[in-house]
Amino acid sequence: IQKWGIEGIGAFMIHGRSRLQRYSRLADWDYIAQVASSQSSDYPKIPVIGNGDIFSYNDYEETILKRVGEGGDTDNMLLPTAMLGRGALIKPWLPTEIKERRHWDISATERLDMLKDFVRYGLEHYGSDQQGVNNTRRFLLEWLSFLHRYVPVGMLEVLPQQMNHRPPQNMCGRNDLETLMLSKNCADWIKISEMLLGPVPEDFQFVPKHKANSY
Query: What is the pLDDT confidence band of residue 211, given thresholds at 50, 70 and 90?
Result: low
Cα end-to-end distance, the chain, whole Å: 32
Q: How many CB atoms neighbour CB 15 within 10 A?
A: 16
Cα distances (angstroms) measured from residue 112 to each of 148, 193, 203: 12, 11, 26
Task: Give percent of the chain above pLDDT 90.
Answer: 62
79 neighbors 47 (Cβ within 8 angstroms): yes
pLDDT (0 to 100) of residue 71? 39
Q: Which of 19-33, 70-84, 117-131, 201-215 has the highest mean pLDDT?
A: 117-131
In angstroms, rounded to a whole number, what is the distance separating the alpha carbons of residues 163 and 166? 8
Residue 70, pLDDT score: 40
User: Residue 203: exposed, middle, or buried by beta-carbon count in 10 A (0-12, 13-18, 19+)?
Assistant: exposed
Helices 108-126 and 186-197: crossing angle in degrees, nearest 10, is: 70
Residue 210 or residue 173, greater confidence: 173
46-77 residue pLDDT tens:
889 999 999 999 999 998 887 654 434 545 56
For residue 81, the cross-strand partners are: 49
Q: What's the CA gap between 113 and 80, in Å, rounded?
A: 33
Q: What is the pLDDT of residues 104-143, one digit of tens each?
A: 999 999 999 999 999 999 999 999 999 999 999 999 999 9
pLDDT at 76: 53
Beta strands in 2-150 (DSSP E): 12-15, 48-51, 81-83
Q: What letter does residue 156 receive in the DSSP assignment?
A: -
User: At residue 13, what are phi and psi to the nearest 5 degrees?
Assistant: -110, 140
Instruction: Answer whether 144's CB lies under 8 Å from 200's CB.
Output: no
- Sequence-separated (6 or more) residues with CB below 8 Å from residue 62: 29
Whole-prediction pTM: 0.88
Evaluate if residue 19 carries a pLDDT over 80: no
Q: What is the pLDDT of residues 181-199, one digit of tens each?
A: 999 999 999 999 999 999 9
pLDDT, averaged across the chain? 89
